[in-house]
Amino acid sequence: MSVLTRDEAQTRSRLLDVHHYAIDLDLTGGDETFESRTAIRFTVRGDTDSTDTFVEVKPAELRGVTLDGQPLDPAALDDNRLTLKGLAPGEHELRVEAAMRYSSTGEGMHRFTDPADGETYLYTQLFLDDVQRVFAAFDQPDLKAVFDLAVTAPEGWTVLANGVTEHTGDGRWTAATTPLISTYLVAVAAGPWHSVRTEHRGLPFGIHCRRSLARHLDADAGELLDVTRACFDRYHEKFTEPYPFDSYDQAFVPEFNAGAMENPGLVTFRDEFVFRSAVTDTQRQTRAMVIAHEMAHMWFGDLVTLRWWDDIWLNESFAEYMGYQTTAEATRFTDTWTDFGVTRKAWGYDADQRPSTHPVAPENVGDTASALLNFDGISYAKGASALRQLVSWLGEKDFLAGINIHFERHRFGNASLGDFIDSLAAATDRDVHAWADAWLRTTGVDTLTPRVTGDNGGRLLDVDRAGRRPHRVAVGLYDRDLTDEGRLTLRERLDVDLPQAGPRPIGKLPALVVLNDGDLTYAKVRFDAESFRTLREGLSGLPDPLTRAVVWNALRDAVRDGELPAGTYLDIARAHLPHETDLALVDGVLAFAAGQVADRYVDPGRRPAALSTLTELCRDLIRRTEDGDHPGLRLIAVRHRIATAAHPDTIAAWLADGTVPGGPELDPELRWRILTRLAVLGATDEAAIAAEFARDPSATGQEGAARCRAALPDAEAKSRAWEAMFATDDLSNYLFTATAQGFWQPEQADLVRDYVPRYYAEAVAVAARRGPAIADAAGRWAFPGHAVDETNLRLGRECLADAGPIPALRRKLADQLDDLARALRVREADPR
Ligand SMILES: [Zn+2]
């Protein structure tokens, strides 16, 4: 596998100016390959030493190549590179004709046949260097060009692309010429799509999905388009540069690896966002946030693009920050930062405490394979947190002024960190360069600890900072509410700049001191002894969900650091979660309590007790929501009640009755959740799984059945699942993931023990054969994470010491092994 290095990219962009691509795809030639013809017009500059370069293409068969009308030898293709030798300065035209392979891994041109109705759908995912799987290109972000696209598609299909498309007859489609965009942003989606179209501010807007999901899309079309319009308008209030493309299509596509992709004018989303079953408002909020995130990319990423992949944070941190902020400002989902605090920030903190951490803006990302690894909690969550802190430090007005200078200077071009900081500096007197050095060029999390001194005559507050970053934080001082037992009231919220000049008088002793109240900075926080006593009794009595999120995150950190026993965390959850009202918090805390604490942090002997604590907690929540006023909370409790069931009785009865007593009725998603858990517990069989798939013969049904089959506690089922993942290579990315999710279960440690040593060699092999998307799934989902023991750790480290794993698997394994070592440390710290 040949990757592009930064040096090669720089050399090529000094040599070439690429002007125009004419791409012609024929999608009517069967289910293995499609025809791809590309004509690239470019100029070779006269002022460079060497005039050799190369174009990238990964064909099934390279049929022909001409340069300025002269044929080149297709056999000269070396891996993915075709060398162009001794180019004369001036204009050239390169033509490449090839047969290209469809993909089943979500990379390149993905092909999917819907089991619900037999219809086929195709879409491209060309990020980060997968353009070459679809057409020949000088594939790097700073060689922007204008694209003209034509497609031949089967009768009855619709073709979507970056520009507005038109059917010219006989299955021929053409897309309007794009403005200057990067190669990785080109997009096509073809199939018998179901579409809802409208217009906003004179631009065509559309949403699209598979036909079998049509009624679910229609049911939510109002909400989806409302969010889209509201965010679009809000961005036009923030940004002086108008939306830069000719249309805004959002296609919900099958088996998509990421959440979504910001192709200009044609955003692609994973089609789980078209909800088939009941969802919580947090899930609706997440969908709205992703819509806002991708739309922010139309400016950050698409209009102004990173020069090289070391600045992916310029894309992702911005889109992440803008996504949460704009959703909160422009839609009914006003509480997005609580969810960010609970789910996204934890992702960032975890990533930042691993050996694989890196600065938000790393200085040297050598090649495309390394760049792919940085789409992680650092580039998204930590970077967005850093920007939130920047806005708090700079003020929003100056921040937006700097952004707008940036767009004006680099529109339809490329920019780097330096350019961005220069734009911000033009809008403020503050030292943005020093801020960037402290926040963007360093790694790790600062830890803030309060120290309350003095006596009853007057207390003083100091904040100890382990770390070197400047922070502007709010410090919440809380007292017990004398009129309402169990409530805590905010006495005062202090603005504190760290490092602090000196101790701050705070009057009488507060019951609770919360550092980073409001969650405006990125740091771990700790509590003084008095505060910890108070929150053990009164956490759920804190008035603001964002404050509670900061506290729950701090407790989570303390467990992970071995400072708070896992059992104490469960006790606090048991005491306070039944009173929690924020959905994101309930879901986030239960997910951590079940997936990490019960499954990995307590030793196996104590797991049944941990599960029964969680089961009781969920039962309390289900009881509390019997009045029907909190369907989202009830749904979360039901889902976790299913996942933590140690005995089949209750959930088997729900499945047999088709409903949870008092609701909700079981929809396909809940039915598959129950059946999966029954499979783990050995309380169902192949006949029941087949019957359920007959009842729900959809793509998610297919995944549900694969997950259930892999989860069955018998040797033959495990062997079949293993073969499917590691031997046959015909599972799509989604079916691979579903199978892996079913395979390892803490209840089945003895049954699967022999697969632990097999895992490493076979994961290395499948990753090498099938590429980064499957490598990611193999590292993320097929990893034996429940085998929390020294043997597993040693085997994993031996595998990493080898040159074997491709980069995408190597990073995943390194992170998994770090989590495993942490789980072992947590167990040691709490040996009861
Ligand atoms: Zn993004």
Cα 312 to ligand 1 centroid, rounded to whole Å: 9
User: Is the per-residue pLDDT at 1 higher than 60?
Assistant: no
643 close to 594: Cβ distance less than 8 angstroms: yes
| Buried b or exposed e, range 710-726, using 16+ CB within 10 angstroms | bbbbeeebbeebbebbb
Cα 316 to ligand 1 centroid, rounded to whole Å: 5
Tokens of 118: 């037999």
Cα 12 to ligand 1 centroid, rounded to whole Å: 26
In a domain, 592, yes or no: no
Q: Which residues is 159 bridged to in the sheet?
A: 190
Q: 398 with 463, same domain? A: no
Task: Report the alpha-carbon distance of residue 581 to residue 625 in Å, rounded.
Answer: 11
Q: 77 with 141, same domain? A: yes
What pLDDT score does 804 carry? 87
What pLDDT score does 832 carry? 64
Q: Domain containing 312: what range?
A: 305-440
Catalytic residue selected from 56, 97, 262, 294: 294
Q: 479 with 424, same domain? A: no
Boundary (domain end) residue, out of 119, 150, 176? 176
In a domain, 687, yes or no: no
pLDDT in tens, 340-399: 999 999 999 999 999 999 999 998 899 999 999 999 999 999 999 999 999 999 999 999
Cα 610 to ligand 1 centroid, rounded to whole Å: 37
Tokens of 779: 């590292």
Q: 429 with 463, same domain? A: no
Q: 420 with 455, same domain? A: no
What pLDDT score does 43 carry? 97
290 close to 325: Cβ distance less than 8 angstroms: no
Please, what is the average pLDDT of the chain? Answer: 96
Measured in degrees and rounded to the nearest 5, phi and psi for residue 109 equal -95, 100
In a domain, 298, yes or no: no
Q: 456 with 325, same domain? A: no
pLDDT in tens, 789-832: 999 999 999 999 987 899 999 999 999 999 999 999 999 988 66
What pLDDT score does 830 carry? 82
Q: 756 with 783, same domain? A: yes
Question: First vs last Cα of the chain: how many Å apart?
Answer: 50
Q: 48 with 150, same domain? A: yes
Structural domain tally of the chain?
4
Candidates 549, 359, 335, 336; CA nearest to 438 is 359
pLDDT in tens, 175-196: 999 999 999 999 999 999 999 9
What pLDDT score does 68 carry? 97
**Strands ordered across the beta sheet of 108-113:** 108-113, 120-125, 188-191, 158-161
Q: 409 with 513, same domain? A: no
Share of the chain above pLDDT 70, in %: 100
In a domain, 511, yes or no: yes
Query: How many CA atoms lie within 13 Å of 545's alpha carbon, on the beta-carbon side?
Result: 20
Boundary (domain end) residue, out of 393, 411, 440? 440
DSSP state of 184: G
Cα 384 to ligand 1 centroid, rounded to whole Å: 11
Boundary (domain end) residue, out of 532, 564, 596? 564
Q: Which pLDDT band, with edges at 50, 70 and 90, does 613 fall under?
A: very high
User: Is the per-residue pLDDT at 49 higher than 90?
Assistant: no
In a domain, 111, yes or no: no
Cα 710 to ligand 1 centroid, rounded to whole Å: 33
Cα 717 to ligand 1 centroid, rounded to whole Å: 38
Task: Report the alpha-carbon distance of residue 569 to residue 558 in Å, rounded.
Answer: 9
> Residue 294 catalytic?
yes
Q: 383 with 497, same domain? A: no
Q: 27 with 144, same domain? A: yes
Candidates 212, 186, 195, 25; CA nearest to 112 is 212
In a domain, 284, yes or no: no
Pairing of strands 458-466, 304-306: unpaired
CATH number at residue 424: 1.10.390.10
Give how far the C-alpha of residue 424 lies from the chain's centroid of Cα atoms, to the nearest Å: 28
What pLDDT score does 803 carry? 75
In a domain, 680, yes or no: no
Q: 316 with 393, same domain? A: yes
In a domain, 669, yes or no: no
Q: Which residue's structure tokens are 């010429």?
A: 177
Candidates 103, 193, 114, 214; CA nearest to 699 is 114
CATH number at residue 90: 2.60.40.1730
Q: Which residue's structure tokens are 């390169």?
A: 94
